[in-house]
């Protein structure tokens, strides 16, 4: 199988012949906008009595219709308790402020339900960063199907073309959904997902959200799991973001 073409975007606010412009950025939530809460999934699988690594929502979809509401209620309760422990990702507010200043459209596509998503936005961002649309697990089919990203592209007036979109996430579902939609993909790397840095569906890797500022300022240049200026761990390092960082 041929290696995917290197994804490139012109620096924001510029026109470069032969290089497309970024049309918008889609974010996952858990593990992307907030720090990973992987313990939730262990608790959910125990409640549902399913093996580790099983697709939780996929399992619920296979249950008899009469059993599905109680199963959904059980995992929602786990998420409600976990949302009180949400920690925003480093660089979250810096990146959101930068994207708002540059009028870059932002959306969320997550397998979480709406309540923890709203809690994160209201608690850590308020009205400072408007995401539109926000797709939760009520939107079907779920990631890794590309339907959510393509729906967002249509909402942004891009038709069926998501080639100007960047999908930022922390899971294989995020990378696969982005690749299948035709979007560029950015992996926010952590201790749990480092193996995905070299996956063929990953265009670029960052270690914190505000690294995207420098990347977008200088021009997005992807590769097989490493970005421009990547260090030995395959984590892209931006510099221009520092002037936006108030920490």
Q: What is the DSSP string of 73-116?
A: HHHHHHHHHHHTT--BPTTHHHHHHHHHHTT--EEEE-SS-HHH
Q: Is the pTM of this model over 0.85?
A: yes
Q: Look at residue 2 in the predicted model and tell me its pLDDT.
A: 53
Mean pLDDT over residues 53-63, rounded?
Answer: 91
pLDDT at position 69 over 80 = yes
**Which of 53-62, 199-208, 235-244 has the weakest average pLDDT?**
235-244
The rounded percent of the chain whose pLDDT value lies above 70 is: 87
Q: Show the domains of the chain with their CATH numbers.
A: 8-35+88-244 (3.40.50.1000), 39-83 (1.10.260)
Q: Which tokens go with 176?
A: 């696969």
Integer Cα distance of 28 and 173 in angstroms: 10
Q: What is the pLDDT of residues 100-156, one digit of tens each?
A: 999 999 999 999 999 999 999 999 998 656 899 999 999 999 999 999 999 999 999
Rg (CA), the chain: 18
Residue closest to 210 by CA, chosen among 109, 63, 118, 88: 88
For 93-117, letters b (16+ CB in 10 Å) and e give: bbbbbbbeeeebbbbbbbbbbeebb
Kind plus residue range of the DSSP H or E element containing 68: helix 68-83
């Amino acid at each position: 199988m041929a290696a995917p073409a290197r994804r490139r975007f012109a620096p924001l606010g510029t026109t470069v012949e032969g290089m497309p412009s970024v049309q918008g950025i889609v974010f996952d939530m858990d593990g992307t906008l907030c720090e990973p809460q992987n313990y939730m999934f262990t608790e959910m699988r125990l409640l549902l009595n399913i093996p580790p690594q099983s697709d939780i929502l996929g399992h619920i979809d296979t249950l008899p219709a009469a059993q599905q509401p109680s199963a959904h209620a059980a995992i929602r309760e786990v998420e409600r308790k976990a949302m009180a422990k949400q920690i925003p990702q480093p660089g979250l507010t810096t990146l959101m402020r930068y994207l708002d200043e540059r009028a870059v459209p932002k959306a969320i596509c997550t397998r979480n339900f709406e309540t923890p998503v709203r809690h994160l936005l209201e608690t850590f961002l308020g009205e400072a960063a408007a995401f539109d649309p926000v797709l939760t697990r009520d939107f079907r089919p779920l990631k890794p199907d590309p339907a959510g990203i393509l729906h967002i592209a249509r909402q942004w007036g891009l038709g069926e073309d998501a080639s100007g979109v960047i999908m930022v996430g922390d899971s294989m579902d995020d990378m696969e959904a982005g690749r299948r939609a035709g979007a560029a993909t950015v992996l926010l790397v952590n201790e749990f997902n480092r193996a995905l840095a070299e996956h063929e569906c990953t265009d670029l890797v960052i270690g914190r959200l505000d690294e995207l500022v420098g990347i977008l300022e200088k021009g997005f240049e992807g590769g097989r799991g490493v970005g421009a200026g990547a260090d030995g761990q395959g984590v892209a390092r931006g510099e221009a973001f520092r002037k936006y960082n108030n920490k």
